[in-house]
Amino acid sequence: MNWIRKVSVFEAALIAVILGVHIYAALSDAFNFPNSWFIRDDAYYYFKVAQNITEGHGVTFDGINLTNGFHPLWMLVCIPVFALARFDLILPLRVLLLVMAVLDAATAVLIYRMTKRTLSQPAAMLAAAFWAFNSYIHYTVYEFGLETPLAAFFIILLLNELSKFEKEWRTGPVPGKRLASLAIIATLTMFSRLDLVFFAAIVGIWILFRGHPIRFLLPLDLVAIFVAMVSAFALRTGFPKYYDYMGAIIVSIILALVLKIAALYFLGAYQHPRSMSGGQILVGTALAALLSGVILFVVLLLLDALNIIPSFPRAALLIDLGLSFILLPAIRLAAIWFGHQSIHRKEREGHQETVRSSFALQMRDLKVNIGRWFSEGKVYFGILGGSLLAYMLFNKAVFGTSSPVSGQIKHWWGSMGTTVYESAPTKWKEFFGIGLNNEFDTLRPGSLTLQQISTHLRPLIPGSNMGDERYYFVLTLFCIFALIVTIIARKSTLRFVSNSALLPLISGGTIQTLYYTTTGYAGSKEWYWISQMILVVLLSVVLLELIIHRLHKYALVRAMITFAAVWICLFSGWRFASGMPQKMPYNRFPPDRPFMEVLPAIEEMTPPGSIIGMTGGGNVGYFIHDRTIVNMDGLINSYEYFQALQKGQAAIYLKQRGMDIVFANPALLSLPPYYGQFAPYLWSYGSYGGKDFLYLLDKPKY
């Protein structure tokens, strides 16, 4: 019971409030769960698949088609929980709510401990309370029933371990077991949400290159190279034409990352920035960008001539070169300002004398470090990459495709321009993940606060249609203010960012955002941005600490700050708890009320044993009795169905597997991505709620 003694009074109170509120919610009326808490259809994809696994039907949503359209670790959590569905469909939802409550409490406590270790106790209290009690975070992360609670927990756990590791490696050698433990946590983080692979990989860079300038420069270079290339193509082609070159863009990004990083290293751009003058940095970085740009241009022309990649606009590579001339030196000039002033004058002069032989200097650097980098890289990336490879091979063997079919389908949607579902970004603000009030707003909940502030600027920027302009004006002012604060307190900024391992989170989160917004992915959702939510919370408290940290030396002011933090935490907790009785009431709904109004209609219009197609159908598939729901959009269907959908043969495929009824809007099925392929096989015989009941015929009508 030694761990109990380690729990502080604040942590105990935080845990008590979180668990108490969630226990109250878990025991409320059954009708609340599908209508007030687990309201997202996507969550029931997990629930139904987990239920089918426990009942021996295999990894399938409908009992017919095998599917891998989910993140694996959350499915493993759901499987034992939904073994209870054979007794009562609501019981596993009650249990899952409590599982998420435990993850919520654990995440909040870890945020508190990590932030207290690197910042001050008041800042740590505010960070933990904000995460636990903010209405947007709780709604998006803990009420949808998706993988986000697990992903948030492992992100914070990994950051917490990296914070501890920061002190460990500075005081002694790092044993292989420690590297393996970090790799295992990073692997679990990746499997909690597969798109966190970018964050997990950059964590590896952060660990391996400790004590070397490349540790700070490379993560930022990865972002800069990615941004330069996609921006170059978008500037050259415009939207939506940009997505027509997606194949060439992806190849260009991969080659640019390899070539530019190699050129930067061997031409000395990863030396300590303070060992060179500003002019030397500009010349060296520009030379690396030019050399890699020329090689990239030649390689892409060759691939184009061999018909390995589609034709692409050559001018985009010139734009990329120009952007690289700006972004890559800017990173190093910023590093001069924020970096440690630990390069002595004699050492700097020595570097200046050898700058002309940068290649020889870097070869010596490689010779000194390659042994440790290789041996530790085998441990970390062997575990991370080996686990990912094993997962992909398993998927290929069992499901016929190495990656989740849901992601492939959404990339397919993005290639169409306009579909009945969401489309890929067609505006610059969405392209960079700073959209407003849509799925491309990756700055929430921070953007919600800035949006509220922007409403007060209406006298300055009038007009009911100028809301976006007011918001982006406030966002710009805030960024300028934050930049000024970090520049003034640059030593503290560097210490906080380093000790909290925020740089891997910043770089990994940015690349993850760009992966969705710039690669033709349609149908992004607000819960994708879990690492960005964490980053907003942590950067906010870092900024607050930078503003007030000089005041901590005054005892009275320190006491006042602590009192204010305690009061804010108490108020936030009270407001969070007081809203739960209204959200999850007791004795308001009769026990026999249908969980969904559509269920009695479907059961009345279809005979028992029917196999019914729906374009979504997650919650209906979970709650319906004596019938089977087949997912027609393909997100939780098989890879074979996805192939049939692409070929225009989806109706034939589903009919061969016993589907006899469709419950959908025929107009929706006439548009992309369906393109009317079901229409010849459908015969309407009823309707409900804007959707038709349709027989799926054996042969086409025309």
The dihedral sign for the CA sequence 130, 133, 138, 142: positive
φ, ψ of residue 525 in degrees (nearest 5): -125, 160
Q: Specify the 3-state DSSP secondary structure of 519.
A: coil
Assess whether 138 and 83 both reside in one domain: yes
The answer on pLDDT for 346 being more than 60 is: no
pLDDT score at 350: 45
Q: Are strands 691-696 and 682-688 parallel, antiparallel or unpaired?
A: antiparallel
Kindly report which listed range (244-253, 424-433, 542-551) carries the lowest average pLDDT score.
542-551
Assess whether 97 and 242 both reside in one domain: no
Residues in the chain: 702
The string over 600-627, giving b where at least 16 C-beta atoms fall within 10 Å of a residue's C-beta and e elsewhere, is: ebbbebbeeebbbbbbbbbbbbbbbeeb
Q: What is the C-alpha to C-alpha distance for residues 530 and 536, in angstroms, rounded to an integer?
A: 10
First to last CA, the chain: 73
**Closest C-alpha among 212, 172, 167, 506 to residue 340:** 212
Assess whether 81 and 168 both reside in one domain: yes
Q: What is the pLDDT of residues 435-451, one digit of tens each?
A: 998 889 999 999 999 99
Mean pLDDT of the 102-110 span: 98
- Domain limit, last residue, from 339, 364, 391: 339
The label of the residue with tokens 């469709």 reads 662
φ, ψ of residue 199 in degrees (nearest 5): -65, -45
682 domain residue, yes or no: yes
Q: Are strands 682-688 and 611-614 parallel, antiparallel or unpaired?
A: unpaired
- Domain limit, last residue, from 339, 368, 396: 339
Assess whether 157 and 232 both reside in one domain: no
The answer on pLDDT for 3 being more than 60 is: no
State what percent of residues in the chain have pLDDT above 90. 77
pLDDT score at 5: 60
Assess whether 112 and 142 both reside in one domain: yes
The label of the residue with tokens 């030019």 reads 290
Contact 51, 82 (CB under 8 A): yes
Place 340 in a pLDDT band, splitting at 50, 70 and 90: low
Assess whether 241 and 267 both reside in one domain: yes
Residue 175 burial class via C-beta count within 10 angstroms: exposed 0-12, middle 13-18, buried 19 and up: exposed
Q: What is the pLDDT of residues 285-336, one digit of tens each?
A: 889 999 999 999 999 999 999 988 888 999 999 999 999 999 999 999 888 8
406: tokens are 């849901």
The answer on pLDDT for 206 being more than 50 is: yes
pLDDT score at 412: 94
Q: What is the pLDDT of residues 267-276, one digit of tens each?
A: 888 887 777 7
388 domain residue, yes or no: no
User: What DSSP letter does each residue of 6-39 carry, written as one string?
Assistant: T--HHHHHHHHHHHHHHHHHHTS-TTHIIIIIS-
Assess whether 163 and 81 both reside in one domain: yes
Q: What is the pLDDT of residues 391-408, one digit of tens each?
A: 999 999 999 999 999 999
Domain with 149, as residue range(s), is 1-30+68-172+569-583
161 domain residue, yes or no: yes
Q: What is the C-alpha to C-alpha distance for residues 420 and 410, in angstroms, rounded to an integer?
A: 12
pLDDT score at 345: 44
9 domain residue, yes or no: yes
The pTM assigned to this predicted structure is: 0.94
Q: What is the pLDDT of residues 152-191, one digit of tens each?
A: 999 999 999 999 999 899 988 899 999 999 999 999 999 9
Assess whether 134 and 263 both reside in one domain: no
Assess whether 3 and 125 both reside in one domain: yes
505: tokens are 């989170």
φ, ψ of residue 684 in degrees (nearest 5): -75, 140
Assess whether 85 and 164 both reside in one domain: yes
Provide the 8-state DSSP code for 174.
P
Query: Mean pLDDT of all residues in the chain?
Result: 92
The answer on pLDDT for 641 being more than 80 is: yes
Most confident of the following: 21-30, 490-499, 515-524: 21-30
423 domain residue, yes or no: no
Q: Specify the 3-state DSSP secondary structure of 426.
A: coil
541 domain residue, yes or no: no
Mean pLDDT of the 470-490 span: 91
How many CB atoms neighbour CB 109 within 10 A?
A: 22
Structure-model confidence comparison of residues 373 and 548, the more confident one: 373
168: tokens are 């460990």
Q: What's the gap between Cα 638 and its chain centre?
A: 24
Q: What is the C-alpha to C-alpha distance for residues 317 and 647, in angstroms, rounded to an integer?
A: 35
237 domain residue, yes or no: yes
The dihedral sign for the CA sequence 446, 447, 449, 454: positive
- Domain limit, last residue, from 304, 339, 374: 339
User: What DSSP letter does each residue of 615-645 carry, written as one string?
Assistant: SS-HHHHHH-SS-EEEESSSTTS-HHHHHHH
Q: What is the pLDDT of residues 560-613, one digit of tens each?
A: 999 999 999 999 999 999 999 999 999 999 988 999 999 999 999 999 999 999
137: tokens are 């975070």
Q: What is the C-alpha to C-alpha distance for residues 112 and 122, in angstroms, rounded to an integer?
A: 10
Assess whether 228 and 119 both reside in one domain: no
Contact 517, 425 (CB under 8 A): yes
Element (H, E) at 675: none
How many CB atoms neighbour CB 66 within 10 A?
A: 18
State what percent of residues in the chain have pLDDT above 70. 96
Q: What is the C-alpha to C-alpha distance for residues 618 and 629, in angstroms, rounded to an integer?
A: 8
Q: What is the pLDDT of residues 252-288, one digit of tens each?
A: 999 999 999 999 998 888 887 777 776 778 888 889 9
The answer on pLDDT for 357 being more than 80 is: no
Place 475 in a pLDDT band, splitting at 50, 70 and 90: very high
347 domain residue, yes or no: no
Mean pLDDT of the 215-232 span: 96
Contact 302, 255 (CB under 8 A): no
Starting from the edge strand earliest in sequence, which strands make up the sheet with 661-664, in order? 628-631, 611-614, 661-664, 691-696, 682-688
The string over 465-483, giving b where at least 16 C-beta atoms fall within 10 Å of a residue's C-beta and e elsewhere, is: eebeebbebbbeeeeeeee
> How many domains are there within the chain?
3
Structure-model confidence comparison of residues 458 and 621, the more confident one: 621
Assess whether 288 and 161 both reside in one domain: no
Structure-model confidence comparison of residues 270 and 50, the more confident one: 50
The dihedral sign for the CA sequence 107, 523, 200, 538: negative
